[in-house]
Structure 1
């Protein structure tokens, strides 16, 4: 019997169809729900993030570097100016292949290896939209050549940026210093947000010491740009805050006079106000043109400065360490009074030499026959070495060290200029630490007249002299007088302590009177004047060693082997307005150095108020004296190349030639 099967199972097919419909709808609903959730995530939960990211494709926040504060002298004469230059810039947001672009621009803009290295270091750490300078101070030729092919370099722009100009060139180089391109080391230390868009930073001098005040606060602007970084329109702006203007204590005219005294010579002069510590003039000779360093000095110019035998890059006033010679005898003499080893009546018989007990070695006086009976007053006036040999033997090096450090010897003065030297006031601990040998009594004798291992900077000598002028009141030298701007800053213009002295107050006055007699009838009599009284002390420091029993024969020495001449002094003696320290390298004797100080005293006391020296094209403005070059005005000589015939001070200056300590000490002030 045959079985019949239905061709279709309608119910089953309907069931299968419905199941497929439900599954399909479920899948579609699931993915639709997933799409809705994702859409909500993008459009609601992260709206701000992705909206900003989208806007950044066309809207950018570009940094606006602040203008650097101006620097003036105490009378408002402009010493450091700003002026605009054209620079080639690019950012990582606008240029995809930076390395290739730089390579193609190198012959077009005459890029140096230094330009490329500095750019590469900066572009790596910059924000993506920050425009980094590839080359500063483009010439008209550079700009013309680039304009012709600009279409080949999308994202590379020519922009105006501010840079520094020093209108007086070499005159203030060692005080003001200079700015230069930010290097790799500085990039790691600076606040990148604070220096966004800034290419220059203070390297030495005031420019470095007061970088925080001079730099200012950056601003920013929101701009709409196309795909190549070209600005289409400005959308908003926050203006930068210009750096503070600094008014230095330096006097233009006095700086000119002091500089003139050292023309053709190596040496340093420091002049300060003993009442306040304000430095009125600071000269290191020879000097250099700081404008060479601003946008990058050439290898040729830098080599000429670095290799110059006269070391123009070296700031002798702050970093130069010289044997001070007899200039320290007034300070040392007061130390003998302080400890009670001598008084004004204490006298010795000077045969022309001194010997230590049990030793035949003679420490000779500069006067071979001696000075006869000598007390403290006469010892200072005629600069009798033997008197101080005896005093040092009684006093000992430890007490000498403790006393002289109160005047700043062997310590930094605290001046507001970088790279200051401490000089050296030696003692047994120092010798054991550095030379692994014991201190000898003969070394104490040498130190007593500012020789042996004892060295001091001209600034230290100036500060110590100011302390005597102040009758023991301690001052800290400084070059900043006032700061005007958004950042508050207070300058302390007053004594900041007192020398611990066990003598009588009139002892300071007696030492002042002794120094007056040094100028009136002693070793400094060549600069005496009836117009005012100068209190001073000369000094001579040996450069060439002289063997025991030999005589100093100047004719057998080269010019660089001649003695250094030194002078310290203040005036008017009874009411000091200025204290001076002069170091004339190879100047032969202290009397010569004193001759350099006299015109400086004369100008400050007799001429500065009635007939001041002013720069060319000088004019009065708003009650303040300002330079003929106005802030922001482009000087006529910008773009000219200065010759590197004189010197420069760098952040790491070359040390001066070593000065030999003489086994036989001879001094003639």
Structure 2
């Protein structure tokens, strides 16, 4: 059908867009093109560096390089604690979006449970996604092989080489050294651990805890190139880790071995200290534990074994056992009595005890007439009952407090306890009751409410034997620690510190001579522990506990605790040893343990002194040139070399003088 020209013209006008709409469409298309061009320009030019960096980040992984902890040595440089190479498994959350599907396979390959992995994920749920989660420490070779074999399937698993602690076997010096472990959520909330992260290994007790900031070092990192499966294919750079600082402890390995052997199989503690400096020469506590069990993830079975042990193996009894000191307290009573001008005037008849305030207080023996000179060797309770009654509790407390009883010593080990020194004010504050005079009688022999720790007694009695000079005990040489950190440690572990108490020379001699008679005189309570040729002094203590003194009782908890504090020489001692043997009965049993350590110390000192003398007097080697008359011009007078006979005579005179000076020093 053909249309006439007029009809075609009408239809063309109907189909043609209005000019305004056409222009609007053109402008819209142009605007869209401009926007797209601007966006493309921003992507390709302006943000090119940012996106390039993001792309690099997708293929570059920052792997931490763990700093090895500083090693620990004894005072002579002998290694005590070291590190060993170990491999740990970490989980990388950035590699996969959903971990739940892989958990059963991961658990099977690493010999874990799904619940253990889920617990680890929960612990780190608030930490950044880029932070690796430690799944298992010290993995076995077959577990490493599992990870390598499943790299493509499980790209979220990564291994990391670390240095792990290795401690002496059988719990040797465990309470002194301490142990390390993974930081807990509770610790992370403390100010001390503000810069620590979940999964960090920190010191938990002992030296490891006190000096953690020095020992842990600074971790480094390694930038590696990885493919889409997380496999390492290249290496870009590394920030080296800074190892922790090595520390030299004050302990003497030989004395520590002697102390460990002496206390083995018993419950209690031994402390050996240098009274001149406060350096701890040995510290042992029993029962002990294996710190190697704590250096990796602690097993539930071992932890339950520790917790359910009624002897509390984690308790450092050298600084935490608060027990009645028994008759070792009589030395402090003697100081109080002599300084107050009371004890030297006392002549007390002992007939197996005496009555005070209507109550009979017994004594082990009938000592007859007792004075201050024989009261200490006899360890006569009747004498000290009488002395306590004359002095009164507040005078006793004043002198006991002055030597550190009832106060922390400030030793640089965590969780030291203060013990108790009762007084009228103490009882009113703690029990809201008045002090009765009859209570003072038991305090006079180190019983009643008074309690002390082995480190307190070692420091107190060695301070008295040193003329009243008390040093702050420590287990790390102060020059090993930066001054600011040393000051912080002193603030962290407050105590009675360095101090001097008034003690007259006459009273000092009376007390130290009496302590010498404890071990050297047949009337002394520790005569069986005497050491021939050694100026060995000390004081025993048999501390009764609730239930009475029953040596052969089936219930060992009724058997008294055996104390001894001994030293050599008797005045200005070079070493003091405090022994607590729980339920060891008589104090002379502990005296035998202490005598072995004293003997080890003296023998070592004698060998060292002998070697020094031999080196000092050894004749110079004769050379060929010295034999020739033409080797050197002849000299006269003081410049002329002495002949061998004169040199030998001079050496004998020097040795004789040295021995005399040493003997006078020991006196």
Please say if 1:512 is aligned against 2:508. Answer: no
- Do 1:62 and 1:130's aligned partners in 2 also have CA atoms closer than 8 Å? no
Tell whether the 8 Å contact from 2:540 to 2:564 is kept in structure 1 after alignment: yes
Question: Counterpart in 2 of 1:141?
Answer: 142
Deviation at 1:544, TM superposition (A): 4.0
The match for 2:427 among 423, 431, 436 is: 431
Q: CA deviation at 1:557?
A: 5.5
Q: 1:26 to 1:441 in 2, by over 3 A?
A: farther
Match in the other structure for 1:535:
537
Distance 1:264 1:231 in 2: 53
Once the two structures are TM-superposed, the CA of residue 539 in structure 1 deviates from its matched residue by 0.6
Question: What does 1:225-244 correspond to in 2, within 5 Å?
Answer: 225-244=226-245
> Matched residues in 1 for 2:480 and 2:427: separation?
47
1:333 aligns with 2:330: no
Relative to structure 1, is the Cα distance of residues 265 and 553 closer, same or farther in structure 2, using a 3 angstrom cutoff? Answer: closer
State the alpha-carbon separation in 1 of the partners of residues 105 and 568 from structure 2: 64
Contact 1:118/1:184 (CA < 8 Å) preserved in 2? no
Unmatched runs of 5 consecutive residues or more in structure 2: 1-5, 491-495, 610-667
Q: 2:209 maps to what in 1?
A: 208
Q: Which residue of 1 aligns with 2:589?
A: 592
Tell which deviates more after alignment, 62-71 or 394-403. Answer: 394-403
Residue 184 of structure 2 aligns with which residue?
183
Aligned to 1:348: 348
- State the distance in 1 between where 2:387 and 2:205 align: 42
Matched residues in 1 for 2:17 and 2:573: separation? 117
Would you say how many aligned residue pairs link Structure 1 and Structure 2? 596
Q: Do the aligned partners of residues 28 and 412 (structure 1) sit closer, same or farther apart at CA in structure 2, a change above 3 Å counting?
A: farther
Give me the whole-angstrom Cα distance separating, in 2, the residues matched to 1:604 and 1:286.
24
CA distance in 2, matches of 1:113, 1:594: 55
Distance in 1, matches of 2:486 and 2:36, equals: 64
1:523 equivalent to 2:525? Answer yes
Q: Is the 8 A contact 1:244 1:487 kept in 2?
A: no
Q: Which residues of 2 match residues 167-566 of structure 1 at below 5 A?
A: 167-189=168-190, 195=196, 199-338=200-339, 340=340, 342-356=342-356, 359-367=357-365, 369-372=366-369, 374-481=370-477, 497-501=498-502, 503-521=503-521, 522-546=524-548, 554-556=551-553, 558-566=555-563
Q: From 564, 567, 591, give the equivalent of 1:567.
A: 564
Offset of 1:444 from its aligned partner? 1.7
Per-residue CA shift, 1:464-489, capped at 9, x if unaligned? 12211321112111111267699985
Counterparts in 2 of 1:113 and 1:327: CA distance versus 1, 3 Å = farther
d(CA) in 1 for partners of 2:265, 2:43: 76
**1:627 corresponding residue in structure 2:** none
Using the alignment, how far apart are the partners of 1:164 and 1:245 within structure 2? Answer: 13
Matched residue SS, 1:422: coil
TM-aligned CA deviation for residue 203 of structure 1: 1.4
Structure 1 534/216 Cα, relative in aligned 2: closer, same or farther at 3 Å?
A: same
1:62 aligns with 2:51: no
Q: Which has the higher contact order (CA 8 A, sep 6+)?
A: 1
Aligned residues of 1:244 and 1:485 also touching (Cα < 8 A)? no
Work out the CA distance in 1 between the residues paired with 2:394 and 2:81: 46
Residue pair 2:217, 2:245 contacting (<8 A) in 1 also: yes
Q: Which moved more, 1:391-400 or 1:467-476?
A: 391-400
Answer with 422-431 or 38-47: which moved more.
38-47
User: How far apart, in 1, do the equivalents of 2:115 and 2:291 lie?
Assistant: 18
SS in 2 for 1:344: helix
CA distance in 1 between counterparts of 2:47 and 2:194 reads: 27
SS at match of 2:594: helix
Aligned to 1:96: 97
What displacement does 1:296 show? 2.5
Offset at residue 553 of structure 1 (A): 5.4
Distance 1:445 1:97 in 2: 74
Q: 1:317 to 1:127 in 2, by over 3 A?
A: same
Distance 2:405 2:545 in 1: 20
Q: Decide which moves more: 27-36 or 177-186.
A: 27-36
User: How much has 1:542 moved relative to structure 2?
Assistant: 0.7
1:532–1:571 CA contact under 8 A, matched in 2: yes
